Structure 1
């Protein structure tokens, strides 16, 4: 509405100055419409530069978080660095395991991302702060400026468990390549590792049942796989 007032006072000032011939009336109208024009300009400037009539409103949204990768061996949170200094990152994730396409945070200086460790269920908490009009009167006067709900900042908090792995997209590609290269070797070494663990367990308990042996074999295979993955991850992170 204040833009309408600005246009109206400008036109009225021009008309009164040009077409009103009585000096006293012209002076009065010029002062009135001139003040309206100046007042409109001042408040438009304050609204645009200082967000006059507005307040910052923060909303919080919590969603579930699922691995960005398709592997069942580990849960992944990926990121892509923006720029060469790695000061800003775009994080890649899924909200549910059944989700086909991944999502990503926005590459914007107003968007910040933080990764935190939790013992609870993985989740994404997004806090968004926007400029909103503090009253209907403020919105009535300045609403035409189309700056309602203007983004101030957005902060994404990724809460992941300790077993989650956070990798850049480059590191993830390198890890996948290394896994394929080492697949045959890892399978052979895993077999030997499991056999040795079973032998060691049978030395301690020669009367173990087949169910006990199967349980030990399964645990040994899982342990070897976890150790191998951690070793390859360390290699990838060191080289990338």
Structure 2
């Protein structure tokens, strides 16, 4: 409505100044029209510049995210530093367990990502701040300015399960390269064999009558424990 008022007062000022023959009436009506134009323009400007008649509100959404790693034993979310100072990051994840492509958080100056630890599912809680009209009167006057629900800023709270790994893209590539190395695999195999043998021997020392099934269970647990430790050790070497 404020845009309509500006247009109407502009036309009235022109009509009153040009087409009214009575000079006194023309002057008075023109001044009133110009005053109306100035006032309506003022409120239009402060609505556009200072968001007069508007207030901020926050919307919150939450979504579970999934690991980018093909290995079920290594749950992972990645991030890529951006900007000349690397003071912002874009986080990389999968939107579903079966997703073939990865998704990312928004790479904009109005988006902030905050990493948090959790014991629950890894998820992203997004809080978006927008403008809206304070009242029905504000909506009436400024409804055509396009400021309602205008985006202000976004904050992504990324809750990462404590058992997950958070790496940069470069670290992820280095990790993959190292794990595929034949030298590393041979070393890992030898260390794994020694670790598992030690664990099984210790278990059998405590229980000499241990059955084959129990030995197999200890072997499986020791293998999983070694793999987890090996991955954590390798990841620590990359940071």
Give the match for residue 226 of structure 2.
Answer: 224
Give the match for residue 215 of structure 2.
Answer: 213
Residues 102-117 of structure 1 correspond to what in structure 2 (within 5 A)? 102-117=102-117
Instruction: List structure 1 runs of 4+ shifted beyond 6 angstroms.
Output: none
| Cα distance, 1:84–1:177 mapped onto 2, change above 3 Å | farther
CA RMSD of aligned residues (A): 1.6
1:22 aligns with 2:29: no
User: How many angstroms apart in 1 are the aligned matches of 2:133 and 2:189?
Assistant: 63
Cα deviation, residue 232, structure 1: 0.9
Give the match for residue 167 of structure 1.
Answer: 167
Cα deviation, residue 226, structure 1: 0.9
User: How many angstroms apart in 2 are the aligned matches of 1:45 and 1:128?
Assistant: 25
Cα deviation, residue 228, structure 1: 0.9
User: How many angstroms apart in 2 are the aligned matches of 1:150 and 1:93?
Assistant: 28
TM-score scaled to structure 2, two decimals? 0.93
Cα deviation, residue 93, structure 1: 1.7
Deviates more, 1:134-143 or 1:3-12: 134-143
Cα deviation, residue 105, structure 1: 1.1
Q: Secondary structure at the match of 2:144?
A: helix
Give the match for residue 142 of structure 1.
Answer: 142
Give the one of 195, 199, 206 matched to 2:201.
Answer: 199
User: How many angstroms apart in 1 are the aligned matches of 2:73 and 2:185?
Assistant: 14
User: How many angstroms apart in 2 are the aligned matches of 1:177 and 1:121?
Assistant: 28
User: How many angstroms apart in 2 are the aligned matches of 1:158 and 1:17?
Assistant: 62
User: How many angstroms apart in 2 are the aligned matches of 1:145 and 1:100?
Assistant: 42
User: How many angstroms apart in 1 are the aligned matches of 2:84 and 2:6?
Assistant: 47
Give the match for residue 63 of structure 2.
Answer: 63
Residues 90-129 of structure 1 correspond to what in structure 2 (within 5 A)? 90-129=90-129
User: How many angstroms apart in 2 are the aligned matches of 1:148 and 1:92?
Assistant: 32
User: How many angstroms apart in 1 are the aligned matches of 2:185 and 2:136?
Assistant: 65
Aligned residue-pair number:
237
TM-score scaled to structure 1, two decimals? 0.92
Give the match for residue 190 of structure 2.
Answer: 188
- After superposition, what is the alpha-carbon deviation per residue over 1:125-182, rounded to whole angstroms, capped at 9, x for unaligned? 1111101112333223222222221122211111122111111111111111111112
Cα deviation, residue 48, structure 1: 0.9
User: How many angstroms apart in 2 are the aligned matches of 1:211 and 1:158?
Assistant: 42
User: How many angstroms apart in 1 are the aligned matches of 2:188 and 2:150?
Assistant: 53
Q: Which runs of 5+ in 2 are unaligned?
A: none
Residues 17-96 of structure 1 correspond to what in structure 2 (within 5 A)? 17-96=17-96
Deviates more, 1:24-33 or 1:181-190: 181-190
Q: Which runs of 5+ in 1 are unaligned?
A: none
